[in-house]
Amino acid sequence: MKSNKKAIIIGAGVSGLAASIRLAHLGYSVKVLEQMPTYGGKMGEWVKGGYRFDTGPSLFTMPQYVMELLAIDGQKYVPFHYEKLDIVCNYFWQDGTRLQAHSDIQKLAEAFEAQLGEPKENILRALEKSEEKFKITNHVFLEKSLHRWSTYLNLGTLKSMLRIGKVDIFKKMHKQNAAFFKNPKTIQFFDRYATYNGSNPYQAPATLNVIPHYEFGFGAYAPKNGIRSIANALYQKAILLGVDFRFETKVSNVEKQSSKYIVNDLENADILICNMDVAAAALGPLKTLISSKKTKYEPSSSALIFYWGIKQSFPQLDTHNIFFTDNYEKEFNSIFSEKVIDDDPTVYINITSKTNKNDAPEGCENWFVMVNAPYADGQNWIELISEARNKIIVKLSNLLNCNLEELIEVENKLTPLLIEERTSSHKGALYGSSSNKLMSAFFRQANFSREHRGLYFCGGSVHPGGGIPLCLLSAKIMTEKIANDN
């Protein structure tokens, strides 16, 4: 379709890329303004000394949402390849216990029984309940706007609402898991899924127990050329559809004049899409269009990430690896109450060179090492980062029986302050607001403005949430609303 209407998108994150593709397909003239020199937002890349690192997201699920965008016009195919992981993640506890989380659910359940003494029936039943929650919530909470009456007048929504009790909105995630499983390590395993949207399992509703279904029901995947290749493919598709990208273009102000949006006193558009963090936009370029109330929420957790080129290979590690803390509740209290990095943090290591050999020199590995961190709130980050680095190295050295410090030959880091600076994420939060409260999902920014016609929102800080699949869905929900409005 052809249209005379112009659309401006603020931000070229993954949701902004998806929105540009969908709007161009609808016939809009689309321009994307991005403050950084490249596209992708948090989905960045760093290369040094023969090592390549994805700097942001590391887990890839539900690839159908990417493939849908690449095939949106039925032509101009952009190559994008990925493979399913047989081992989703390796788990390590400090008492020497280990668990391989197989993608095959039967093998997963058997591993729990063999390694942790957790009856396999408990695992199979938990994953069945996770799938049930997905089927109840998916077409309501993830595929539609929660802020339109038409969503609730839909027959499918009404059927879901009749089963809402099975979603466990009024239960706490950890409490439900503690009642469900026998082994504390199994409870910790399932509690971890709260971190997928930056929340605290001891406070968040048990609805979040839907998340394991994304990983085991749909599978975990590794893009052939790293997570960055998702952004590369979407960008190439947008270019083929005629999208105009302007990099190193910071949006400093936006004004609405009649039915038009004027950006930086120069650009004008019929519709404006904000792919910025909503709170950052409300404090910055959209302060005259977004209520300051949008800044008053509990942010999600952030992250401290080290990128280490390791001059040794570790056969006991896989693409995804978790080294748990001994006291999970204490760690989450440190993050959300004390707003510090715990002195025994859970450590996540992503090693893409396990599947993409070109990501590290032969015999070496590229380690993406992450611990959960609080959002930026005036902490002494120099001290926190230094202490955390030392503790991570000691912990991993003990568990892997090596002198890790001597094996690091290239290094870089990403901190909450750098996340805030580079991606305009309010206080460095990775997912906008946390999901620690009962109605958190309903208080996220809608995908459209009620006050200003032609103003729309997509990205991790708005409905339905953060993470690659949800960001792509936010662009889809938003674009469907644009199509209906215009």
Which pLDDT band holds residue 45 (cuts at 50, 70, 90)?
very high
Please state, in angstroms and rounded to a whole number, the distance separating the CA atoms of residues 23 and 20. Answer: 5
Cis peptide before 464 (omega within 30 of 0): yes
Q: Identify residue 53 by its one-letter amino acid code.
A: F
Contact call for residues 10 and 275 (beta carbons, < 8 A) = yes
Q: How far is CA 442 from CA 5, 122, 397, 453, 463, in A?
A: 31, 31, 44, 21, 8
Please state, in angstroms and rounded to a whole number, the distance separating the CA atoms of residues 483 and 486. Answer: 5
Contacts made by residues 160-164, CB under 8 angstroms, sequence distance 24+: 160/136, 163/136, 164/136
Which pLDDT band holds residue 75 (cuts at 50, 70, 90)?
confident
Contact call for residues 458 and 464 (beta carbons, < 8 A) = no
Classify 319 in phi/psi space as left (phi over 0), alpha (psi -120 to 50) or beta. Answer: alpha
pLDDT at site 440: 56
Which pLDDT band holds residue 26 (cuts at 50, 70, 90)?
very high
- The position carrying tokens 């504390």 is 184
Sheet holding 82-84, edge to edge: 60-61, 220-223, 82-84
Q: What is the pLDDT of residues 296-314, one digit of tens each?
A: 788 999 999 999 999 999 9
Lowest-confidence segment of 14-23, 281-290, 388-397, 443-452 by average pLDDT: 443-452
Instruction: Please count the CA atoms within 13 angstroms of the CA of 107 that sit on its side-chain side.
Output: 10
pLDDT at site 209: 94
Contact call for residues 91 and 322 (beta carbons, < 8 A) = yes
**What's CA 36's distance to the chain center, in Å?**
20
Which pLDDT band holds residue 135 (cuts at 50, 70, 90)?
confident
Q: If you average pLDDT over residues 358-385, what whole number do you get?
A: 97
Residue 443 reports pLDDT greater than 50: yes
pLDDT at site 281: 95
DSSP lists the bridge partners of residue 302 as: 373
Classify 64 in phi/psi space as left (phi over 0), alpha (psi -120 to 50) or beta. Answer: alpha
Which pLDDT band holds residue 149 (cuts at 50, 70, 90)?
very low
Please state, in angstroms and rounded to a whole number, the distance separating the CA atoms of residues 109 and 127. Answer: 10
* Torsion sign, CA atoms 372, 368, 317, 127: positive
What is the value of pTM for the model shown? Answer: 0.93
Taking alpha carbons only, the member of 125, 248, 224, 131 closest to residue 181 is 125
Please state, in angstroms and rounded to a whole number, the distance separating the CA atoms of residues 468 and 42. Answer: 10
Residue 437 reports pLDDT greater than 50: yes
Write the secondary structure of the chain as one string of H (helix), E (strand) and C (coil): CCCCCEEEEECCEHHHHHHHHHHHHCCCEEEEECCCCCCECCCCEEEECCEEEECCCCCEECCHHHHHHHCCCCCCCCCCCEEECCEEEEEECCCCCEEEEECCHHHHHHHHHHHHCCCHHHHHHHHHHHHHHHHHHHHHHHCCCCCCHHHHCCHHHHHHHHCHHHHCCCCEHHHHHHHHCCCHHHHHHHHHHHHHHCCCCCCCEHHHHHHHHHHHHCCEEEECCCCHHHHHHHHHHHHHCCCEEECCCCCCCEEEECCEEEECCCEEECEEEECCCHHHHHHCCCCCCCCHHHHCCCECCEEEEEEEEECCCCCCCCCEEEECCCCHHHHHHHHHHHCCCCCCCCEEEECHHHCCHHHCCCCCEEEEEEEEECCCCCCCHHHHHHHHHHHHHHHHHHHHCCCHHHHEEEEEEECHHHHHHHHCCHHHCCCCECCCCCCHHHHCECCECCCCCCEEECCCCECCCCCHHHHHHHHHHHHHHHHHHC
pLDDT at site 162: 47
Which pLDDT band holds residue 463 (cuts at 50, 70, 90)?
confident
Q: If you average pLDDT over residues 67-81, what whole number do you get?
A: 89
Q: If you average pLDDT over residues 118-127, what whole number do you get?
A: 98
